[in-house]
Structure 1
Amino acid sequence: GMGLERMSAIMQGKSSFFDSDVMQGLIGLGEEISGVSYVSDDYEGQSRSLRIIADHARSVDFLISDGVLPGNEGRGYVLRRLLRRAVFHGRLIGIEGAFLGRFIDKVNELMGDAYPELLKNVALVKGIVDAEEERFSGTLDTGRVYLDEALGGLADGAVLDGATAFKLHDTFGFPIDLTVEIAEGAGHAVDIDGFNREMEAQRERARANVKGDAWGSFNDVWTELSDSVSATEFAGYEDEELEGAKVLALVVDGERVAHAGAGQKVEVVLDRTPFYAEMGGQMGDAGTLSAEGVRLTVGDTKAHNGLYAHSAVVEEGELAEGAIVNAAVDHHRRALLRRNHTATHLLDAALKNVLGDHVNQAGSLVAPEHLRFDFTHFEPLSSEQLVQIERLVNDQIFAAKPVVTRVMAIDEAKAAGAVALFGEKYGDVVRVVSVGAEEHPFSRELCGGTHAANTAEIGLFKIVSESSTGSNVRRIEAVTSEGAIAYLEERARMLDAAASELKCRPDEVAGRITGLQKELRETSQKLKNALTGGGSNAIDDAIAHAEDLGAYKLVVAQLEGLEAADLRNVWDTIRQKLHEPVACVLATVTSKGQPALLAGATDEAVAAGFKSGDIIKQIAPLVGGGGGGRPQMAQAGGKDASGIPAALEAARAALSA
């Protein structure tokens, strides 16, 4: 058990690794940020939290630097749990706002010389940490309110039920280990067996939903055919038409048949074909199969265990197993697919160029009309980055570079810098597609799909959208050639229509909209000021009737015609008008007929004993709701607006006692 950490502690004459120089440097940073003091034998309090933050921050930095990204499975899940536990313990010792980025800097300072890998992607590591920390902070706030309410309703020593723990996990994304930790701190155990039963029930529901789809497309007939029929030979890289292909099998409604007649839908297996089967994100080819007196229209092509299934409709005649047919791919559709596939390679290279080498493909769709590309990245792309990426791709298109394809050994391909998809399995011999004939082309990838012969065929590349598909995975959708022209024509039509409505020239639309937005903001602000500012008689009246509690003044009021969010503006107005220690309990009925409560207090009022979160928790049940928040401010919603007077009176009585 003599690992590096124990060895370093012994070499430094320490009894614990947490007392060694590296960890004390990180713990010292925690003391500085939080304002709490570290006592090494405090194993259940603040010192424990400082140790956890220091240890987890170090682990997070090393994991991300080693290529691990936060996720919901495997090592990505471990990373996310470490990161979230560090954030939680930061909250426990009073750290508000983002702080882990400072720990990453400290880890790099202390360990970067010994581990230079930490210094290679500092921006990536901090970007991912910041994004995850911000996301989890929202989760923590929302889930904590729900958990506090659940724990507040339990008798002393009672067990928190598994269903509630599962709802926290499933609905709010609240980790079960944090639920256990918070519950134990409040004197309650968690029904882990009940939680596990709920988890298993969810998995069973997921399996039931997926089972039909997963096995429906991979019917037993294909397993049987793969044992008796030779794999289809793909002959479509160079030729889009092939004569003399033999029908090896016909499948109708999941059953092998000997014949298929006019009007029937059939999957046709050929010994060789020019049709590309859907794989690697590229959609399958369409076209026709024909023989004397027989004609089929192929709508799609899929692969099953090496067998290419041409999904077709018999338009005329009858097709029999063993027949010889001519196979012709829809040339126009194939051309669009080829252009979009080559464009995805250009996009991948451009993303790496602009964002960094951490970008990896996380999925793609190459369709005739458009392309979709998923990639690993930790934050939304700016408009400037999107313009830069688009320009890089179009530069390669306008340069009319040849698309060169070579078949070579996998080791030779990797040595040449070919990009391989993470997690993809490759054989000993691979197909390498390069954009450009130079020694170091703009793009070089392992790929089995069909491609344009020259980038000029793509015509034009236009990004349509950029969005998130999950944690640290972004998606770009784009169009090329005919799709790009259609997209720009539609946008021009929409611009002309907007200019017509605004009665201006197309080049004046942006300025006119900016002016209208400014007018709208000014009008909205005037309305808000009239409602919640100095001209509001209701607020002035509430302030005039404020109760003097000695250490602070207390304003309790029900205000009409406001939304829940407006109560914050009222609280701001009260503070600005009084210029002295003050607290408030406010209520309104929203436009939807629902009650909303807010409690707020200046720091002096909080010091004198006013706790907004406690007040809201006490009175919210009187309006049929719940809520919470910080001592300085807390809010709640409810279902029964008739309970507002009782809630305000209860607050006044509790605070005046």
Structure 2
Amino acid sequence: MNTGEIRNKFLTFFEKKSHVIWPGDSLVPQGDATLLFTGAGMNQFKDMFLGKGRLNIKRATTCQKCLRTGDLENVGRTASHHTFFEMLGNFSFGDYFKRETIAWAWEFLVQELRLPEEKLFVSVYKDDPESYEIWEKHIRILKSKIYSYGENDNFWPANAPAQGPNGPCGPCSEIFYDQGAGVGCGREECEPACDCDRFVEIWNLVFTQFDRKEDGRLEPLPNKNVDTGMGLERMARVMQGVPTNFDIDIFAPVIKSIEDITHLRYHDKKENAVCMRRIADHVKASIFCIADGVLPGNEGRGYVERRLLRRAIRDGAQLGLKECFLYKLVPIISDLMQDYYPDIKQRRENIARIIKSEEEKFLETLELGTVRLKELMDTMQKNKIKELPGKEAFKLYDTYGFPLDMTELILKEHGFSMDSAGVEVELKRQRMQARSSSSMTGQVFDAGFLGKIKEISKGTTFLGYEKDSCRARIIAIVQGDYLIEKAEAGSEVSIVLDQTPFYGESGGQIGDTGILESEGSHICITDTKKNDSFIIHIGKITKGIVRTGDMIDARIDTHRRGLIKRNHTATHVLHWVLRNVIGRHAEQAGSMVSPDRLRFDFHHFSSLTKEEINRIEDLVNEKIMENALVSVKEQTLQEARNAGAVALFGEKYEERVRMVSIGDFSKELCGGTHINNTGEIGPFRIVGESSVAAGIRRIEAITGISALTRDREKEEIVQELCGILNACEEDLSSKTQELLNEVKKLHKELHKQKQKELLEKIDSLSVTAKEVSGVNIITKRIDNASADDMRRTADMLMKSEKETAVALGSVLNGRVIVIISLSTGLASRGLHAGSISKEVAKIVGGGGGGRPEMAQAGGQVVGKLDEALDFAEMLFSKEILQKVS
């Protein structure tokens, strides 16, 4: 039975048990600040478990894509660890409980999947006699196959009774499949708690029945909930009778592709298998991250993704690959996952481009790492150090992507070793950082003011599509992180209403401004945010007292909203034009819509030419002048997709969506506000095009009055220049070029004069040379000379037949510049201009460095230039006496 069949069987089985098949959440949790990535099926239902959710359902079943990196080091080394995996689950929100959950789980495994009963074992929490009794007396499992474990193994969250966190928690019951005595440790007493891999945990049934209090008490919850999780990959492994998760139908073809790329066999060498498994896992995780809008970066989610890709690239290097290869795996993975995740295949070209771009950048970094390792070995050789410090080895691994064993091998070849213990300290620190950055960052459930508001309200009703003002009731006043009952004039507050015309910042559109007022109070709203289902009005009370429960009039700034609407509609037109001018891959990757400008990020891998920018601008203006009708239709997500609506990268959509259509050319899913006809946008001007990330370009543009104002300002600048240059507009370009040519000519004449003066000084400098062991030492201050001037002078002095050491200094623009130059013979004997420049720079309060033959120092202490040159002469003499005499 393949994974697709298992997934469908699970969902339809629970659908028959009156569960709603609910779409899985994005890997980027929506409206949940406690999570970096979605790591479990229950994450999107947290409010439902607390009785605060808005969903009108009691039972749900999902297939949830998950990402966890807490056990990153085990991926590839064990049979079942993954970073990305799919979790099948069934959920009860205050409806059925233990008996039904356990009975249905057994029914599905034995009757639907036809797993042999003798292969199934279960575990329960030691203080949960109810679950034990259900397994023994109702399911009739032998006592010898029921194991009781403590809170670390059979409680959720693990160790919650003793250690927390506070909030909903409960015991769990796990179901295991026994692969037989021939697998694992081989001990007769082996049991499910053993980590030898004989027993595969296939299903975890969590019974959320307690509320943990601050003092550790477990109070029964009024509504008991069920949260179960079945690992799809593990279940497929059991059903397909293969030894590891990486041998199942959605992984084996990927492993085969890696074999073809590397020309190595998966089973030939254990380390080959580990690398290939890790590559398959990490590239799959990265593909799904990118599809959900996460791009490789240096912080947060982007950092986690970048680490996964770089680990996979390093594994490729271990297998002998020196070129980009991960992107070649995107088509096979998208084909394998397309039935349930069609978006992956639709966007595979974009995803492959992003991965390849990251590979190219990292391979360049690897090259730099090679150079860095050579520099480190040179320094070790010079200082007679035999062991590379752990911090340096780890930096090569973490920053430059050098595999640690590769570093160790290269060091060994050159007679050095590596501080392995020091490396392990750094790795442990990184693992701790990775765990904290990929897990919950706060309480599992809402613990702040939002959690309290959810106890009294299901959310704010948004009326802003049809209305600019409304009468509303204040349901919460927030100051700082605390709910308060009232606030007075002068207070800065956040107000939550039961309904509002104010648009809360989301989807790239910034929040509305305006006023809230009643007969005795006035609040100036300067921003509006959206948090989950609540719209939060941020502002300052300018008059009176405001109390929870007050009725107020809410009015937005309609002029400002109008400007935002024009720019928002303009982004839709721009999106359509981009995909038609530069290619279908130019999908939206982000946007910002404000009253005065718009910003639009899109997928593309090179800067736009001037011709492309002009073409895009022209086409957008053409569509604007068509005065096309802008219409909005609310429909199901599937209906919108069938109509050809564009869904955005990484966006999570509800079952019912708004499709915004412009004329007969643009259809997008969008929750923002829009104008009625494109003609209302006015003139459209592109004011900037740049790169914001690997494979992501940004266009900045202005419309309407902003575009006219900018053109007028430019016209004023042109007129000002005409006055300065005493030229008319038509002659402005030629007049400017004429002046530039004249300046260039003067620069050339000045350069020639300087060269002449320098040549005249060469003889006098040579005459003043001090001789030490047959070497000419020349130190001289040349006022107002640039670094280039002094370099040229030093080069001329080096033409002497004798070995020469030169130090020239100058003060230019309030800063000291010193050039150190050595003849080739001196450099070959161990003198180093770069090292000398660093020492000289200390005198003038700066830094220096460079090559053995030529280096530069600089500093801010201009009064010590002469002292620095005297010091350089002393260093020259000392080094020459040591290494030349």
TM-score bracket for the superposition, by shorter chain length: 0.5 to 0.7
Equivalent in the alignment of 2:808? 588
5 Å-filtered alignment, 1:324-403, equals 324-403=551-630
Distance 2:820 2:875 in 1: 9
Distance 1:513 1:247, change over 3 A: same
- In structure 1, how many angstroms separate the alpha carbons of the residues matched to 2:538 and 2:880? 74
AA of the residue aligned to 1:497: E
Maintained 8 Å contact 2:516/2:525? yes
Following the alignment from structure 2 to structure 1, what is the Cα–Cα distance between the partners of residues 450 and 730?
59
CA distance in 1, matches of 2:745, 2:536: 63
Q: Secondary structure at the match of 2:549?
A: coil
Q: Which amino acid aligns with 1:306?
A: S
Corresponding position of 2:704 = 481
Q: How does 1:99-114 map to 2 (within 5 A)?
A: none
Letter in 2 for 1:511: S
How much has 1:544 moved relative to structure 2? 11
Which structure has the highest helix share of the two?
1
1:34 match: none
- Note if contact 2:621-2:684 (Cα within 8 Å) is conserved in structure 1: yes
Kept after mapping to 2: 8 A contact 1:222/1:305 = no
Q: Take 2:564 and 2:646, find their aligned partners in 1: how far apart are those partners?
A: 21
| Cα pair 1:263 1:313 within 8 Å, conserved | yes
Residue 637 (structure 1) aligns with: 857
Provide the residue aligned with 1:235 in structure 2. Answer: 463
2:423 matches 1:192: yes
1:158 maps to which residue?
387
Find the counterpart in structure 2 of residue 132 from structure 1: 361
Equivalences for 1:452-491 in 2 at 5 Å? Answer: 452-491=675-714
Q: 1:161 to 1:573 in 2, by over 3 A?
A: same
Which one of the candidate residues 17, 22, 27 is aligned to 2:263? 17
By how many angstroms is 1:379 displaced? 3.9
Unaligned ranges ≥5, structure 2: 1-245, 266-274, 336-344, 770-774, 842-846, 860-867
Whether the aligned pair in 2 keeps the contact of 1:539 and 1:570 (CA below 8 Å) is: yes
Q: Which amino acid aligns with 2:572?
A: H
Return the alpha-carbon distance in structure 1 between the equivalents of residues 575 and 611 of structure 2: 17
Partner SS, residue 724 of structure 2: helix
Within 5 A, what are the aligned runs for 1:77-96?
A: 77-79=307-309
- 2:724 aligned with 1:501: yes
Query: Any idea what the Cα deviations from partners look like across 1:143-194, whole Å, max 9, x if unmatched?
Result: 67975786466432134262x6788899xx6556589567666625253246
Contact in 2 for aligned 1:564/1:597 (Cα 8 Å): no
> Contact 1:286/1:298 (CA < 8 Å) preserved in 2?
yes
Cα 1:5–1:121 change in 2 (3 A) is: closer
What CA distance in whole angstroms lies between the structure 1 residues aligned with 2:527 and 2:260? 67
Contact 1:275 1:284 in 2 (8 A): yes
Distance in structure 1 (CA, Å) of the matches to 2:502 and 2:308:
43
Contact 1:585–1:651 (CA under 8 A) maintained in structure 2? no
Other-structure match for 2:738:
515
- In 2, Cα distance between equivalents of 1:307 and 1:340: 25
CA 1:429/1:259 → structure 2, altered by over 3 Å: closer, same or farther? same
In the alignment, which of 718, 742, 760 is matched to residue 537 of structure 1? 760
**Kept in 1: contact 2:362–2:401 (CA 8 A):** no
Distance 1:634 1:86 in 2: 40
Please give the alpha-carbon distance, in whole angstroms, between the structure 2 residues aligned to 1:295 and 1:468: 44
Task: Report the secondary structure of 1:536's partner residue.
Answer: helix
Deviation at 1:336, TM superposition (A): 0.7
CA distance in 1 between counterparts of 2:873 and 2:316 reads 42
SS of residue in 2 equivalent to 1:278: coil
Q: Report the residue type matching 2:510 in the other structure.
A: M
Q: What secondary structure is seen at the aligned counterpart in 2 of 1:453? A: coil
Q: CA RMSD in A?
A: 5.5
Q: How many residue pairs get matched?
A: 567
What is the letter of the counterpart of residue 17 of structure 1? H
8 A Cα contact 1:338 1:452, kept in partner:
yes
Structure 2 Cα separation of the partners of residues 119 and 324 of structure 1: 52
Once the two structures are superposed, residues 528-564 of structure 1 have per-residue CA deviations (whole angstroms, 9 ceiling, x without a partner) of 4444579723457889999xxxxxxx99865735444
Separation of aligned partners in 2, 1:198 and 1:570:
51
Report SS of the residue matched to 2:418: coil
Shift in Å at residue 484 of structure 1?
1.6
Note the C-alpha offset of 1:400.
1.5
In 2: Cα distance, 1:89 partner to 1:532 partner: 57
Rounded Cα–Cα distance in structure 1 between residues aligned with 2:451 and 2:484: 15
Q: Judge which range, 559-568 or 494-503, deviates more.
A: 559-568
**Higher alpha-carbon deviation: 137-146 or 482-491:** 137-146
Equivalent position to 1:408, from 606, 622, 635: 635
Structure 1: runs of 5 or more not aligned: 20-51, 91-99, 547-553
Give the Å deviation of 1:134: 10
Give the conservation status (yes or no) of the 8 Å contact 2:829–2:884: no
The letter of the residue matching 1:411 is: Q
Q: 2:741, 2:367 → 1: CA distance?
A: 31
Partners of 2:290 and 2:650 within 8 A in 1: no
CA contact (8 A) 2:462 2:499 kept: yes
Asked whether the 8 Å contact 1:600–1:612 carries over to 2, the reply is: no
Query: Secondary structure at the residue paired with 1:466?
Result: strand
Amino acid at match of 1:271: D
1:70 Cα deviation from its structure 2 partner: 5.5
Cα distance 1:316–1:303, how it changes in 2: closer, same or farther (>3 A)? same
Q: Is the 8 A contact 2:503 2:512 kept in 1?
A: yes
The answer to whether the 8 Å contact 2:515/2:525 transfers is yes
Task: Provide the TM-score with structure 1 as the length reference.
Answer: 0.68
Q: Deviations over 1:197-217 (max 9, x none)?
A: 88699999999xxx9xx99xx
How far the C-alpha of 1:403 sits from its partner, in A, is 1.9
SS across alignment from 2:478: strand
Question: Aligned partners of 2:541, 2:358: CA distance in 1, in Å?
Answer: 56
2: distance between equivalents of 1:312 and 1:119? 44
Q: Which amino acid aligns with 2:602?
A: F
Flag the structure with larger Rg.
Answer: 2
CA distance, structure 2, for counterparts of residue 417 and residue 87 of structure 1: 42
1:222 and 2:450 correspond: yes
Alpha-carbon distance, 1:67 to partner: 7.3
- Aligned equivalent of 2:525, options 298, 313, 320: 298
Secondary structure of the structure 2 residue equivalent to 1:333: helix
Distance 1:202 1:384, change over 3 A: farther
Asked if structure 2 preserves the Cα contact closer than 8 Å seen for 1:219 and 1:254, the reply is no
Shift of 1:470: 4.2
The letter of the residue matching 1:444 is K
> Equivalents in 1 of 2:681, 2:674: separation in Å?
10
CA contact (8 A) 1:529 1:535 kept: no
> How far, CA to CA, are the matches of 1:600 and 1:480 in structure 2?
62
How far has the Cα of 1:334 moved from its partner? 0.3
Percent identity of the aligned residues?
30
Structure 2 equivalent of residue 450 of structure 1: 673
Q: Is the 8 A contact 1:145 1:628 kept in 2?
A: no
Return closer, same or farther for 1:396/1:195 CA change in 2, 3 Å cut-off: same
Match of 1:94 in 2: none
289 and 70 in structure 1: CA distance in 2 versus 1, 3 angstrom threshold: closer
Q: Does the 8 Å contact 2:833/2:850 carry over to 1?
A: yes
- 1:290 and 1:74, CA in 2 relative to 1: closer, same or farther beyond 3 A? closer
Contact persistence 2:369–2:396 (CA under 8 A): no
